[in-house]
Amino acid sequence: MNIPKELKYSRDHEWVKIEGTRATIGITDFAQSQLGDVVFVELPAVGDEVAAGSGLAVIESVKAVSDIYAPLAGKVVETNELLADAPETVNQDAYGTGWIAVLEISDLPQPDALLDSEAYERLVGEGGQ
Amino acid sequence: MTARQTPLYEAHVRYGGRIVEFGGWLLPVQYAGILEEHKAVREKAGLFDVSHMGEVLVKGPDSLSFLQKLVTNDVARLAANQVQYTPMCYPDGGTVDDLLIYKRGNGEYFLVINAANIEKDWAWMQANSTGFQVELSNLSAATAELALQGPLAEAILSKLTDVDLQQLAYYWFLPEATVAGRPVMISRTGYTGEDGFEIYSRPEDAAYLWTAIMQAGEPYGLLPAGLGCRDTLRFEAALPLYGHELARDITPVEAGIGKFIAFGKGEFTGRAALAEQKQNKPQRRLAGLVVNGHGIARAGYPVMFQGQRIGTVTTGSYAPTLNKNIGLALIEAAYAGIGQQLAVEIRGKNVAAEVIGKPFYRRP
């Protein structure tokens, strides 16, 4: 299971890369493997304001519909339009070209709201619940 | 209730199957991935564990008359070693189950029923056998079943059996054959829209047969296949699934499988209600939909016409072979004509859809 050290993680299996006031968000390798073949991604609109823990995107695999939550609060400033034509990118490169959206952070998350890679690895090791 | 394991549970884990609970059974939803397995079955072959299916043996001098009353199709048309698909209905025309009937000989029929319906069907058959000289045996626990499906299925299975599978026609079966030296019953049937075989065995032989078939199929590109692609395959072929396209409150006439109702055979349970529905045209019909807008229709989503709800999606998915998002939906008959523009409500938004012909996929 690939869990990059430099990223932060939510308990809902999103990853976050914080650079200055911007946060890039995607789903983890564990999440994509559990979902199976991704066939559709419903992206948020640029300009949407999202609260921490609210719905950010919807990912559909062949069999299931899954909500992707915003790990922190912010305004959507970029979405990954590549996923409209190639949703399978989420499976192929979850931490890279399979990113979902970039938020301009409005509220920094509480110190314990996001997990580091070791804590996330323990969560996944316990079955991901 | 704890979920049950089929005799192949350990094989599924060994082959990397992702196990889920389905109708009280622990079964693999996928191994390599639903799309890859789907493609393997369409282009090469896939091997499924369908041991969770139920089996009932009907024996006795009144077997035929009992079955003629029990199901809607004309069982008298079956020759020995032939298989028939049929709905089984309640007096009001609602569907108890859909099943396969294998005629083993005069006075002996082997029924294959849906796993989730075994207890209900068994009780229904017992209750309806009053007055008939028949003996019913529930063989579900004593029967394992593998399904080998795909255009290369015949070539693969031929390596493991002495019988000439080329001579076995669609919807016929061999009651006594061997595969890899084990006694089995083989039918040329299936649920994927492809050519293929169902192989019935003793539970203790199932794991051995699985491994033998997987090994024989390896050079042909055979993959183990899970429940996930079983559903996408049958869905593209527009084959009805109990609990979705057929149910207690959905009749075979509404589901568009009226050709399996033999009104000419005499009395059977549900006959009057189904005949009336057929004559007056059903108010609801099962239609095929393609979603033209962005989104995937799922079972239970509302189907809309100009802001009014006119029905419900029964199965909806991305269709791998067609590379489209399609659906089966039970909708008001007035809107079921091919080309009708409709919408599917997906997470609160109306997404454009259009009625298209079924099946969505037909084998070349």
In whole angstroms, give the CA distance from residue B103 to residue B110. Answer: 6
Domains of chain B: 4-51+143-236 (3.30.1360.120), 283-363 (2.40.30.110)
What dihedral angle (degrees, nearest 10) is formed by the CA atoms of A86, A88, A94, A100?
A: 40
Confidence at A128, pLDDT banded by 50, 70, 90? low
In whole angstroms, give the CA distance from residue B71 to residue B67. Answer: 6
In whole angstroms, give the CA distance from residue B19 to residue B96. Answer: 28
In whole angstroms, give the CA distance from residue B226 to residue B217. Answer: 16
Nearest CA in chain B to A42: B295
Task: Tell me if A3 is assigned to some domain.
Answer: no
Distance from CA of A110 to the nearest CA of B (A): 31
Tokens 């609970």 correspond to: B21
Task: Tell me if A41 is assigned to some domain.
Answer: yes
The torsion region of residue A120 among left (phi > 0), alpha (psi -120 to 50) and beta comes to alpha
Prediction ipTM score:
0.89
Strand B173-179 with B182-187, pairing: antiparallel
CB contact set of A44 (below 8 Å; sequence gap of 6+): A50, A56, A57, A76, A79, A101
Confidence at A110, pLDDT banded by 50, 70, 90? confident
In whole angstroms, give the CA distance from residue A77 to residue A47. Answer: 6
Q: What is the pLDDT of residues A34-73, one digit of tens each?
A: 999 999 999 999 999 999 999 999 999 998 999 999 999 9
Question: For chain A, how many structural domains are there in total?
Answer: 1
Contact A109, A52 (CB under 8 A): yes
CATH code of residue A14 = 2.40.50.100
pLDDT beyond 90 at A109 = no
Task: Tell me if A83 is assigned to some domain.
Answer: yes
Chain A interface, Cβ < 8 Å to B: 36-37, 39-40, 42, 58, 60-63, 65, 84
The two three-digit tokens of residue A47, written as one number: 């300009």
Q: What is the pLDDT of residues B100-151, one digit of tens each?
A: 999 999 999 999 999 999 999 999 999 999 999 999 999 999 999 999 999 9
- Enter the DSSP assignment of B172: B
State how far Cα B317 lies from the chain centre. Answer: 17
**How large a percentage of chain B has pLDDT more than 70?**
100
Distance from CA of A124 to the nearest CA of B (A): 16
The model's pTM is 0.95
Strand B144-149 with B95-105, pairing: unpaired
Contact B196, B148 (CB under 8 A): yes
Distance from CA of B138 to the nearest CA of A (A): 32
The two three-digit tokens of residue B4, written as one number: 């049950």
Does B119 carry a binding-site annotation?
no
CB contact set of B15 (below 8 Å; sequence gap of 6+): B28, B31, B214, B224
Does the beta-carbon distance from A60 to B318 stay under 8 Å? yes
Q: For residue B1, what pLDDT is reported?
A: 59
Q: Is B33 on the interface with A (CB under 8 A)?
A: yes
Does the beta-carbon distance from B318 to A63 stay under 8 Å? no
The two three-digit tokens of residue B314, written as one number: 């029964």
A86 is in which domain, residue-wise?
A: 8-127
Q: What is the pLDDT of residues B272-295, one digit of tens each?
A: 999 999 999 999 999 999 999 999
